[in-house]
A and B are shown apart, each in its own frame.
Chain A
Amino acid sequence: MLVSMNWVQDFVDLSGLDIESLIKRFTLSTAEVEDIIYKGRDVSGVVVGKILSVENHPDSKKLHLLKVDAGGKIFDCVCGAPNVREGMKTAFATVGGMVGGMKIAARPVAGAMSQGMCCSEQELGISANNSGIMDITDDIEIGTDIKEAYGVEDIIFEVDNKSLTNRPDLWGHYGIAREFSALTGRPLRELEVYDTKQYSGLPKVDIDIKDKDIAYRYSGLKIQNVTRKTSPVDMRIRLYYCGMRAINFIADLTNYIMLELSQPMHAFDMRKVSSIEVKRADGEYDFDTLDGVSRKIDENTLMIYSAGEPVAVAGVMGGLASEIEDDTTSLLLESANFDCVSVRKTSTRLGLRTDASMRYEKSLDPELTVPAIKRYLKLMKDSDSGCEVISSLTDVYVKRFESEPIVFDKRYVDRYTGIDISEEQILKTLRSLGFGVELKDGVFTVTVPSWRATKDVSIKADIIEEVTRIYGYDNFKITTTVSPLYPVRLPQSKISEKSVKDILVREFGLHEVHSYIWCDAKKLKEIGLGVNGSVRIVNAMTPDNEVLRDAIVPTLLTVTASNHAFSDAFGIFEIGKTVEGLGSDGLCIERKKLGIVLYSTVKSERELYFMMRDITAFLCRDVKGMTASFTPSDDVREWQHPKNTANVICGEKGIGCISLLHPSVADKIGKKAVIATAEIYMDDFGDIEPAVTEYKEVSKFPGIDIDLTFVVNPAVSFEKMSSAWKGTENLIGVSLIDTYEGEEKSITLRYSFSSLDKTLTKAEVQQSVDEVVEKLKGMDVNMKM
Chain B
Amino acid sequence: MQQKIDELVSRFKQDIEKAADSQAVENIRIAYLGKKGFVTEILQGMKALSHEERKEVGRSVNVLKADIEKQIAQRAEKIKEEQLLKRINESERFDVTLPTDFTQGSYHPITIIQREVEEIFLSMGFTIEDYDEIVDDYHCFESLNIPKHHPARDMQDTYYIENGQLLKTHTSAAQNYIMRKYGAPLRAIFPGRCFRNESTDASHENTFFQMEGIMIDKDISISNLIYFMKTMLTEVFKREVNVRLRPGFFPFVEPGFELDINCLICGGEGCPSCKNSGWLELCPCGMIHPKVLEYGGIDSEEYTGFAFGLGLTRLAMMKYGVGDIRDFNSGNLKALSQFTNI
User: Chain A interface (Cβ within 8 Å of chain B)?
Assistant: 27-32, 163, 165-167, 340-341, 344, 348, 361, 415-419, 459-462, 464-465, 468-469, 473-474, 476-486, 488-491, 493-494, 498, 501, 504-506, 508-517, 535-541, 548, 558-559, 562-563, 566-567, 569-572, 577, 579, 582, 586-588, 590
Q: Which residue of B lies closest to A576 (CB)?
A: B193
User: Chain B interface (Cβ within 8 Å of chain A)?
Assistant: 103-108, 110-111, 115, 122, 125-128, 130, 132-134, 136, 149, 151, 154-155, 159-163, 165, 167, 185, 187, 193, 195, 197, 199, 206-207, 215, 217, 219-224, 226-228, 230-231, 244-249, 254-258, 287, 289-291, 304, 328-329, 331-334, 336-337
Considering the chains assembled together, what is the distance between the CA atoms of A586 and B258 in angstroms?
38
Considering the chains assembled together, what is the distance between the CA atoms of A498 and B111 in angstroms?
9
Do A541 and B199 touch across chains, with their CB atoms under 8 A apart? yes
Considering the chains assembled together, what is the distance between the CA atoms of A143 and B161 in angstroms?
71
Considering the chains assembled together, what is the distance between the CA atoms of A474 and B223 in angstroms?
11
Do A480 and B224 touch across chains, with their CB atoms under 8 A apart? yes
Do A515 and B331 touch across chains, with their CB atoms under 8 A apart? yes
CB distance from B230 to the nearest CB of A (A): 7
- Beyond contacts A512-B107, A569-B103: 4 other A-B pairs, Cβ-Cβ < 8 A, are A340-B149, A486-B125, A501-B107, A509-B103
Considering the chains assembled together, what is the distance between the CA atoms of A540 and B156 in angstroms?
9
Q: Interface majority SS on B: helix, strand, loop or mixed?
A: mixed
23 A-B contact pairs sorted by A residue (CB < 8 Å): A415-B304, A416-B304, A418-B222, A461-B289, A464-B255, A474-B244, A478-B230, A479-B221, A481-B224, A490-B128, A511-B337, A514-B329, A515-B329, A535-B163, A536-B162, A538-B161, A541-B199, A541-B206, A562-B331, A570-B103, A588-B161, A590-B132, A590-B133
Considering the chains assembled together, what is the distance between the CA atoms of A167 and B247 in angstroms?
11
Residues of B contacting A489 in the complex (Cβ-Cβ under 8 angstroms): 127
Considering the chains assembled together, what is the distance between the CA atoms of A559 and B329 in angstroms?
10
Do B337 and A165 touch across chains, with their CB atoms under 8 A apart? no
Considering the chains assembled together, what is the distance between the CA atoms of A569 and B334 in angstroms?
14
Do A416 and B105 touch across chains, with their CB atoms under 8 A apart? no
Q: Which residue of B lies closest to A465 (CB)?
A: B255
Q: Decide: A493 near B130, CB < 8 A? Known: A479-B227, A505-B105, A541-B197.
A: yes
Considering the chains assembled together, what is the distance between the CA atoms of A536 and B161 in angstroms?
6
Do A163 and B108 touch across chains, with their CB atoms under 8 A apart? no
CB distance from B206 to the nearest CB of A (A): 8
Residues of A contacting B289 in the complex (Cβ-Cβ under 8 angstroms): 461
Do A567 and B331 touch across chains, with their CB atoms under 8 A apart? no
Do B334 and A483 touch across chains, with their CB atoms under 8 A apart? no
Residues of B contacting A579 in the complex (Cβ-Cβ under 8 angstroms): 134
Q: Which residue of B lies closest to A507 (CB)?
A: B105
Residues of B contacting A504 in the complex (Cβ-Cβ under 8 angstroms): 105
Considering the chains assembled together, what is the distance between the CA atoms of A32 and B162 in angstroms?
38
Residues of A contacting B328 in the complex (Cβ-Cβ under 8 angstroms): 514
Do A539 and B159 touch across chains, with their CB atoms under 8 A apart? yes
- Which of B165, B246, B256, B334 touches A27 (beta carbons < 8 Å)? B246
CB distance from B256 to the nearest CB of A (A): 8
CB distance from B208 to the nearest CB of A (A): 10
Q: Which residue of B lies closest to A478 (CB)?
A: B227
Do A461 and B290 touch across chains, with their CB atoms under 8 A apart? yes
Q: Which residue of B lies closest to A503 (CB)?
A: B105
Considering the chains assembled together, what is the distance between the CA atoms of A431 and B231 in angstroms?
35
- Which of B111, B193, B223 touches A476 (beta carbons < 8 Å)? B223
Considering the chains assembled together, what is the distance between the CA atoms of A590 and B132 in angstroms?
7
Do A540 and B223 touch across chains, with their CB atoms under 8 A apart? no
Q: Decide: A509 near B333, CB < 8 A? Known: A476-B226, A517-B133.
A: no
Considering the chains assembled together, what is the distance between the CA atoms of A416 and B286 in angstroms?
12
Considering the chains assembled together, what is the distance between the CA atoms of A597 and B255 in angstroms?
48
In the A-B complex, list the 6 residue pairs whose CB atoms are closest, starting with the nearest.
Answer: A418-B221, A418-B223, A465-B255, A559-B331, A505-B105, A473-B245
- Which of A341, A516, A541, A572 touches B329 (beta carbons < 8 Å)? A516
- Which of A32, A166, A482, A486 touches B246 (beta carbons < 8 Å)? A32
- Which of B220, B244, B287 touches A28 (beta carbons < 8 Å)? B244
Residues of B contacting A539 in the complex (Cβ-Cβ under 8 angstroms): 155, 159-160, 197
Q: Which residue of B lies closest to A516 (CB)?
A: B207
Residues of B contacting A493 in the complex (Cβ-Cβ under 8 angstroms): 130
Do A465 and B247 touch across chains, with their CB atoms under 8 A apart? yes
- Which of A465, A473, A540, A587 touches B244 (beta carbons < 8 Å)? A473
Do A481 and B159 touch across chains, with their CB atoms under 8 A apart? no
- Which of A479, A483, A577 touches B217 (beta carbons < 8 Å)? A483
Q: Decide: A488 near B222, CB < 8 A? Known: A478-B227, A513-B331, A562-B332.
A: no
Q: Decide: A514 near B134, CB < 8 A? Known: A416-B304, A537-B159, A587-B163.
A: no
Considering the chains assembled together, what is the distance between the CA atoms of A516 and B207 in angstroms?
7
Q: Which residue of A lies closest to B334 (CB)?
A: A566
CB distance from A78 to the nearest CB of B (A): 42
CB distance from A189 to the nearest CB of B (A): 25
Do A29 and B247 touch across chains, with their CB atoms under 8 A apart? yes
CB distance from B333 to the nearest CB of A (A): 5
Do B257 and A483 touch across chains, with their CB atoms under 8 A apart? no
Do B333 and A566 touch across chains, with their CB atoms under 8 A apart? yes
